[in-house]
């Protein structure tokens, strides 16, 4: 589905640590703005389900790196995004989620957009204090059978430790233990700090406090974006 041409399309990049609810915001914003949503996570998940012969060269190369437990290099990630460049050139705007991850990728994107005479509207950065992220993520419980995710406080199952959908047992994933979360968050901060600085220098960074319900966060984002559009 290709959204139609819009007078002032939004071209956005979303940033945010694991646990801030960036994926949910990407879906809500896509719906609200009618922009094209490009998520590298979705591309990988979809690719994993397809047969080898159906995959593009860049995806096949990326999956090969992942199978070997190696980081997918910048150039391969960039090729993957290039294969979806229709989305970036979309006249209805776009929302990038999971990309760019590195300065190199950010610079490649900037070059491509300049060549196409497109400009980025904003880089939305969802922020939440570390202890709140740890609290959110460490309360998650996953069903052993159907992999549904619950939360001990925010979305508890009807019966403790039992899945509402299939009756399977709920467990605490290793990844969702506080020590593991802290390590993940530190790695995220380290890798994202140069990107945040890059977009701050370009005057594009739009920090958003990611507290409250998904609708509250969306409302806060839209308000800041409207203000930004008025100021320009």
Which residues are tagged catalytic? 22, 101, 140, 173, 184
Q: Which of 33, 106, 143, 205 binds Zn ion (CB under 5 A)?
A: 143
We find the least distance from the C-beta atom of residue 159 to Zn ion, in angstroms, to be 12
We find the least distance from the C-beta atom of residue 148 to Zn ion, in angstroms, to be 5
With binding defined as CB under 5 A, does residue 12 bind Zn ion? no
We find the least distance from the C-beta atom of residue 173 to Zn ion, in angstroms, to be 14
Q: Are 99 and 81 in contact (CB under 8 A)?
A: yes
We find the least distance from the C-beta atom of residue 147 to Zn ion, in angstroms, to be 7
The nearer residue to Zn ion, 166 or 219, going by C-beta atoms, is 166
DSSP string covering 101-132:
-SHHHHHHHHHHHHHTT----EEEEEE--HHH
We find the least distance from the C-beta atom of residue 170 to Zn ion, in angstroms, to be 8
Binding mask 146-185 toward Zn ion (x if CB under 5 A, else -) reads x-x--------------x-xx-x-----------------
Report helix, strand or coil for 166.
coil
Q: Which stretch binds Zn ion (CB under 5 A): 53-61, 119-127, 143-151, 193-201?
A: 143-151
Q: What is the side-by-side strand order in the sheet with 205-209?
A: 36-39, 94-97, 11-16, 122-127, 205-209
**Phi, psi at 120, each rounded to 5°:** -75, 135
Q: How many residues bind Zn ion (CB under 5 A)?
A: 8
In the block, which residue shows the tokens 């619950």?
150
In the block, which residue shows the tokens 């139609």?
4
Q: Which stretch binds Zn ion (CB under 5 A): 76-84, 109-117, 135-143, 179-187?
A: 135-143
Can you give the C-alpha Rg of the chain in angstroms?
Answer: 19
Cα 164 to Cα 160: distance, rounded to the nearest angstrom:
10
Q: Which stretch binds Zn ion (CB under 5 A): 10-18, 72-80, 142-150, 186-194?
A: 142-150
The nearer residue to Zn ion, 43 or 170, going by C-beta atoms, is 170
Cα 212 to Cα 190: distance, rounded to the nearest angstrom:
26
Q: Are 158 and 115 in contact (CB under 8 A)?
A: no
The nearer residue to Zn ion, 134 or 143, going by C-beta atoms, is 143
Q: Which of 54, 86, 132, 145 binds Zn ion (CB under 5 A)?
A: 145
CB atoms within 10 A of CB 209: 14
Residues that bind Zn ion (CB under 5 A): 143, 145-146, 148, 163, 165-166, 168
């Amino acid at each position: 589905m290709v959204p139609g041409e819009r007078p002032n399309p939004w071209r956005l990049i979303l940033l945010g640590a694991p646990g801030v609810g960036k994926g949910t915001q990407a879906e809500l914003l896509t719906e609200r703005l009618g922009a094209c949503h490009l998520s590298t996570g979705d591309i990988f998940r979809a690719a994993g389900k397809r047969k080898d012969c159906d995959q593009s060269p860049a995806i096949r190369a990326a999956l090969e790196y992942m199978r070997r437990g190696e980081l997918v290099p910048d150039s391969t990630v960039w090729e993957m995004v290039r294969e979806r460049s229709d989305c970036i050139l979309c006249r209805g705007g776009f929302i990038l989620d999971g990309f760019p991850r590195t300065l190199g990728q950010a610079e490649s994107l900037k070059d491509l957009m300049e060549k196409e005479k497109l400009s980025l509207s904003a880089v939305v950065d969802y922020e939440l204090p570390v202890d709140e992220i740890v609290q959110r993520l460490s309360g998650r419980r996953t069903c052993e059978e159907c992999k549904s995710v619950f939360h001990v406080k925010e979305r508890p199952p009807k019966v403790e430790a039992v899945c509402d959908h299939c009756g399977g047992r709920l467990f605490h994933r290793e990844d969702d233990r506080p020590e593991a979360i802290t390590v993940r968050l530190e790695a995220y901060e380290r890798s994202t700090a140069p990107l945040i600085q890059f977009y701050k220098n370009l005057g594009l960074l739009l920090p958003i406090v990611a507290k409250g319900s998904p609708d509250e966060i969306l409302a806060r984002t839209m308000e800041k974006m409207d203000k930004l559009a008025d100021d320009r």
